Structures are given as C-alpha cells and as structure tokens.
Amino acid sequence: MDNTMTDVADIDFTLNGKSETRSVPVRRNLVDFLRQDMGLTGAHVGCESGVCGACNVRVDGVVVRGCLMLAVQVDGATVDTIEGLSESGEIAVLQRAFVAKNALQCGFCTPGMLMTGAELLRQNSCPSRLEIRDAISGNYCRCTGYQAIVDAIEHAAGGA
C-alpha cells in the first residue's frame, strides 16, 4: 500500500502577518491547505493546472499559483492571501477601483486579479494599459471581458 498520502510534515510559516505551525499532508497543494485547513477561502480552485490564476496567493512577496505549490514548500516562508491583503488595507484602493469600474461580476476571478494587480502596482506604479493587459494575461475571467479590469487597475494607479 502506498502510504505517501498519509505522510505529514510540520511547517512553520507566517500567514497574513501571523506565525503559524501546522502539520500538513506532504502532497496537499497550497490552495487546498489554505482553504481546507486554514479556512481562508478567498483563493479559488479553478483549473488546478496553473493556467487560470484563481488560486493566486503571495509567497515571500511574489504571486504564485497555489494549485502548483505544495503546502510543505511554504515552511519558513511568508504567505499572504487576499484576506490578509484586504485586512491590512494594502489593496483598498484597488478594491475601490474594481467596484467603481464594475470590474467584477461573478467574483470568481476577482481575488486572483486583485493579487496580480497589486503585484503589478508594487512593481510599476504607473503601468500602461498594455503592461496591465500583459500582467493579467495569466488570469482568466469569463464575465467582464477584461476591459473593466484593465480600467480598474489603471484607475487605481491614478491613470484614469
């Protein structure tokens, strides 16, 4: 019998500014760990192959696909979720811009888009529309057609 599904590892990490120690199955991906074990359901499970961006979280300051990373890989790392960015106020301007520009409809892609938009604005405070489109090109949205999302990120940057 394959016992790797029952193997667990202890991990120490910082989650949304708080130190955590948890035991986690070694094969559980990060997004499932955050949703099922930590109760943080803002990152969504979409394609489960790293294509859609619904599972975006930030690890050590870089947005990553939570479905492609194992939870054990965050041992010693700092993890920020959409909940943490919202609570800290870090993305408040971006959130208001998404509302003002009607850049969300069903909301499934919104956390991933906000994570991506925030990362872009941290790296480039005044991106062009082309740079915004390029940054969000790894995130799928089936509702807004992306135009409103580009408008919102541009608005948050002070460009519209």
For β-strands 56-59 and 78-80, DSSP reports them as: antiparallel
- pTM for the whole thing? 0.91
Q: What is the model's pLDDT at position 124?
A: 96
The DSSP-derived string for 81-114 is -HHHHHHHTTTHHHHHHHHHTT--SS-SSHHHHH
Res 4 pLDDT > 60: no
Rounded Cα distance, 158 and 22, in Å: 41
* 127, 157 Cβ separation under 8 angstroms: yes
Of the pLDDT bands very low, low, confident and very high (cuts 50, 70, 90), residue 1 is very low
Res 98 pLDDT > 90: yes
Rounded Cα distance, 149 and 147, in Å: 5
Mean of pLDDT values over 62-75:
98
At 111-142, the pLDDT tens digits run 999 999 999 999 999 999 999 999 999 999 98
Nearby residues of 58 by Cβ (< 8 Å), 6 or more positions away: 64, 79, 80, 81, 85, 115, 119
